[in-house]
Amino acid sequence: MVNQYETVFIATPVLSDTQMKEAVAKYVKLITDNGGEIVYQEDWGLRQLAYPIQHKTTGFYYLIQFSADPKFVATLETQYHRDERIIRYLTVALDKDAVAYAEKRRANKAAKAAEAQAPVQE
């Protein structure tokens, strides 16, 4: 049985752009190597934290939506916990309504991006 999940992790703000990309690539590879499929990825960038975590007030947020076996989530979260670059993470299972909402959100975002790329006619 394969479920759809959404995971968001916050990486420490002292990482360079290259190090952040390496961290993301590590988790994408972990998901795909364990039989999962990446549905969507989104870099939310450097954001202010609601409260300090490990004496840091900002962090790099990254979202990954994927489908995988339910047993895999424990493996993924264990890897997050062991990685010193990750200061917080949350993985949730998506029900059918959440999946529909996520698809609608992606479609709206794609439409806005296409609209921004279109040349302006006068």
Q: What is the mean pLDDT of residues 26-39?
A: 93
- Of 16, 40, 47, 36, residue with least CA distance to 79: 36
Torsions phi, psi for 34 (to 5 deg): -100, 25
Do the Cβ atoms of 10 and 61 come closer than 8 Å? yes
pTM for this prediction: 0.84
Determine the pLDDT at residue 99: 85
Per-residue pLDDT of 70-116, as tens digits, reads: 999 999 999 999 999 999 999 999 988 888 888 888 888 888 888 88
Residue 45 pLDDT > 70, yes or no? yes
Domains of the chain with bracketed CATH = 3-116 (3.30.70.60)
Q: Which residues contact 82 (CB under 8 A, 6 or more apart)?
A: none
Residue 7 · residue 63 · CB < 8 Å:
yes
Cα–Cα distance measured from residue 8 to residue 19, given in angstroms and rounded to the nearest whole number: 17
